[in-house]
Structure 1
Amino acid sequence: MIRTFIAIAIPETVRQQIGKLQTELKTIGGKVRWVKPDSMHLTLKFLGEVPEGDIEKIGNQVQQAIESVEPFALQIVGSGCFPNSKRPRVLWLGISGRADVLKKLAERIEANLVKLGFRRERREFTPHLTLGRVKSISGIAPLIEKMGLLDFDSEPFEVREILVMKSDLKPTGAEYSVLRKIPLSSN
């Protein structure tokens, strides 16, 4: 079984910007498990444990879902907490640019994967990058306050492909690898 998800890669230059932001936020304190910048990606659909033999079918359904979608621009902007700032569990950065295209893309991918028996998400797709996971809300207030005041804008970047990814859970954190790259349409 392979722990699988569908994602968009974040360019190295943008991950470096996010790494600098994390370094600044870490000085404020609070118990947070920070996501390593090298591991950052934009998840479109988490599939969970999948038989190895199904990976090709998954890739084919994703390819079919995106076949008429042309490359589009995104930017990482803004920040917040899930589920809310009173009881934060996830610190996130937001997405702007062609978020309309991104949402439509995620919907099409999900619809095609439902055909393979994957469950439809209960919650609406909320595009974001996970910055960190709060381990304890004790002493987290100054960091949450800073998150609310952040004025973070990454450089814009172009999405040219969708990735079928593998996640290996290790004691040091998840390790990700690409199973398949599916280019967007160049029409």
Structure 2
Amino acid sequence: MRSFLAIDVDNPLKDKIIEVQKILDEANAQLKFVEPENLHFTLKFFGQINNNMIKELSRIIKEKIGSYKPFKLKIEGIGVFPNKNYMRVIWLGAKNPKKFSEIQKAFDEQFSKLGFKKEKSYIPHLTIARVKGGKNKDKLLKKIEELENIQIGEMQIKELKLKKSELRPEGPVYTTIKTFKL
């Protein structure tokens, strides 16, 4: 099964994120928005793995997670991957993500011992849309620039979730396999 380790977005912040998506939609560009129930920060994407690997990952997460306490994360700012000339992903950023990055790096190190490739340069981000074509790119860039300093809000990070991803024609469906409390 396709799996990843994630931090879900708090419900109160989802309404503000939907507002941002509506503003971007005004550009009438070719965008596929992430559904509110699918909004998350990915700590690590594992790809296709089997049940034995799920057990190994769960064991490692349980061992390491006790080292961390809940922390606050601010969601603000907007950006694109890979760049403004060739946009594929529109994302919201994490302000002062020191603790977030520390956790990601520590888990990435542990997961590499199981054969997973280490992240080269991890940027904490929340994907809100995928760009499916170049229609109205200039209008879209203008909307992104208008939202450059957007403040979504702050959330308390209390848990990590191991999730599976099922790709369906109508879009991905994410299901929580296991929740790990900080």
Give the TM-score of the pair, scaled to structure 2: 0.95
Aligned to 2:128: 131
Q: Give ranges in structure 1 of 5+ residues lacking alignment.
A: none
SS of residue in 1 equivalent to 2:72: strand
Q: Give ranges in structure 2 of 5+ residues lacking alignment.
A: none
Counting aligned pairs with the same residue, the percent is 30
Aligned to 1:182: 180
1:6-55 CA distance string (max 9 Å, x none): 00010111112101221122122111111112210000000000011221
Aligned to 1:15: 14
**Conserved 8 A contact 1:165-1:180:** yes
Deviation at 1:109, TM superposition (A): 0.7
Paired AA for residue 124 in structure 1: S
Distance across 1 between alignment mates of 2:94 and 2:134: 25
Distance across 2 between alignment mates of 1:108 and 1:53: 22
Q: Which aligned segments of 4 or more residues in structure 1 are displaced greater than 4 angstroms?
A: none
**Conserved 8 A contact 1:65-1:105:** no
1:141-171 CA distance string (max 9 Å, x none): 1111211221321221100011111101111
Paired AA for residue 93 in structure 1: L
Distance across 2 between alignment mates of 1:105 and 1:15: 23
Distance across 2 between alignment mates of 1:87 and 1:115: 34
Q: Is the deviation greater in 140-149 or in 128-137?
A: 140-149
**Conserved 8 A contact 2:23-2:143:** no
CA RMSD of aligned residues (A): 1.2
Distance across 1 between alignment mates of 2:39 and 2:141: 21
Paired AA for residue 70 in structure 1: K
Aligned to 1:158: 156
**Conserved 8 A contact 1:92-1:128:** yes
Aligned to 1:80: 79
Paired AA for residue 108 in structure 1: A
Deviation at 1:74, TM superposition (A): 0.6
Aligned to 2:40: 41
